[in-house]
Structure 1
Amino acid sequence: MKGFDVTRFRELPIIGILRNISFAEVMELLPLCAEAGLYAVEITLNSADAPRIIEEAQRRYGSILCIGAGTVCNLPDLHVAKEAGACFIVTPIMEPDVITACVSENLAVFPGAMTPTEVAIAWKLGATQVKLFPAGRLGSDYVRDISAPLAHIPLLATGGIHRGQMEDYWSAGANGFGFGSPLFPPSLIVNKEWGLTAVHIHEYVTTLQHVMSGSKKKGEIG
């Protein structure tokens, strides 16, 4: 299993989140992600057959994508993710045991946090980047307020954000994004509109590239 390349992720800091998408559909989506320039793709553990999907995704596309496990809520979940070959871990909550276990094994981890205290603790424990969740409901002003005293902590804004909001969140202090259904529209996937899906993913990538090129940011992943 290869490690998580922080430098490469920083060049295009998007984690594509695949939740409740079938094995066959995931295998169609992964090459589209790679072609668009994405690096990190997360398979959530609460998806049917998630360990098998992660394992096969690593086998087929591990040389061009970094396949991680999401919705990792406890140490048993972490064990499942590691056994499947996940190269990074994403949690919906700030679970110290999971963070410290990942750090001890040099496994990249993006722990979920909402409050300033949770964000600060997750970073202190060794998070690769802190997943601010649910960022869409909290709003870009919330990101700005948190970033003011915690500018040294890189935030992955996740949950309910769409392409048109990226610039607002980025300028507010977000250092990356986690996108689920906004990046992978269920209507396109169900109808197997792979060409349109590819265009849609590419639009997200080019939007973030444009936003990043016009902005000088605060912190970097450390």
Structure 2
Amino acid sequence: MTDFATLLRGKPLMAILRNVPIERAVALAETVWDSGLGAVEVPIQTPEAARCLRAVASAAAARGAVVGAGTVVTVEQVRLAADAGAVFTVAPGLDLDVVAASAAAGLPHLPGVATPSEVHHARKAGCDWLKAFPAGSLGAGWLREMRGPFPDVRFVATGGIGAHNARDFLAAGADALGVGGAVTREGGLAELLAVLRA
């Protein structure tokens, strides 16, 4: 099983392609992969989203890239993600059954956390990389403060991140940024990539 340290090495962006038409999702994913700065996540809350994941995974396989499945909140969705070609799973919260199912499927899992207790329990469950969510509400200072008791945890700050605050969260200790709306709006991906390259 590949881990997030390998998947996100040198890649500060996890582009979240939520509710994006399939052709546009593939095009955005290819731009992210071509930049060398990011990974791609496709949330799978609807049947159309699952079809989108399959299409993006097919494009990823053709170029040696990878895609993960997001908003994975049930064991059934873990199976769906694996069948569609995802190589990792992401969730908004911490569900130990989903963590275990992802591990059994050979997919590293990125659970969402927002409290020290959730960080602690996610670590006990074997997750070294965690999704700080909702990062925009938690604030960059939350990441700095979590570094004290949890110096080895790697965080993907997600929720409310864009070109306007990406640098703040990276400076506070985020290892990567999960970005949805700011990536999928017209011109948003180019703007964010410019900030990350600076």
Give the TM-score normalised by the residue count of structure 1. Answer: 0.80
Question: Which letter maps to 1:7?
Answer: T
Checking the alignment, whether the CA contact within 8 Å between 1:133 and 1:159 is kept in structure 2 is: yes
Amino acid at match of 2:190: V
Partner of 2:68: 68
Aligned to 1:126: 126
Partner in structure 1 of residue 19 of structure 2: 20
Per the alignment, residue 194 of structure 2 pairs with: 203
Separation of aligned partners in 1, 2:56 and 2:3 = 15
Shift in Å, 1:64: 3.7
Q: Distance in 2 between matches of 1:163 and 1:118?
A: 28
Give the Å deviation of 1:183: 2.2
Deviation at 1:127, TM superposition (A): 1.8
Large movers: runs of 4+ above 6 Å: none
The structural deviation recorded for 1:128 is 4.6
Give secondary structure in 1 for the equivalent of 2:68: strand
Q: What SS does the aligned partner of 1:86 have? A: coil
Q: Deviations over 1:124-178 (max 9, x none)?
A: 2122510010011111112222221111111111100222323322232222110
Matched residues in 1 for 2:169 and 2:151: separation? 14
Corresponding residue of 2:28:
29
Distance 1:160 1:21 in 2: 18
1:175 aligns with 2:166: no
Give the counterpart letter for 1:173 in structure 2: G
Q: Percent identity?
A: 30
Preserved contact between residue 8 and residue 39 of structure 1 (Cα < 8 Å): no
Structure 1 residues 105-124: aligned runs within 5 Å: 105-124=105-124
Between the aligned partners of 1:47 and 1:3, the Cα distance in structure 2 is 27
Contact 1:41 1:65 in 2 (8 A): no
Q: CA deviation at 1:10?
A: 2.0
- Structure 2 partner of 1:50: 49
Instruction: Judge conservation of contact 1:19–1:47 (CA < 8 Å) in 2.
Output: no
Tell whether the 8 Å contact from 2:163 to 2:191 is kept in structure 1 after alignment.
no
Task: Decide whether the 8 Å contact of 2:39 with 2:67 is kept in 1.
Answer: yes
Secondary structure (helix, strand or coil) at the match of 2:164 reads: helix
Aligned length: 197
List alignment gaps of at least 5 residues for structure 2. Answer: none
Structure of greater Rg: 1
The one-character-per-residue Cα deviations of 1:83-141 (angstroms, maximum 9, x if unpaired) are: 11111100011011111222233311111111111012112212251001001111111
Cα deviation for residue 80 of structure 1 reads 1.2
Partner of 2:78: 78
Taking the aligned partners of 1:4 and 1:38, their CA distance within structure 2 comes to: 17
Instruction: For 2:67 and 2:157, locate their aligned partners in 1 and report how far apart those are by CA, in whole Å.
Output: 19
Task: Work out the CA distance in 1 between the residues paired with 2:101 and 2:171.
Answer: 33
Q: What secondary structure does 1:41 align onto? A: strand
Structure 1 unpaired stretches of 5+: 189-195, 208-222
SS at 1:126's partner residue? coil
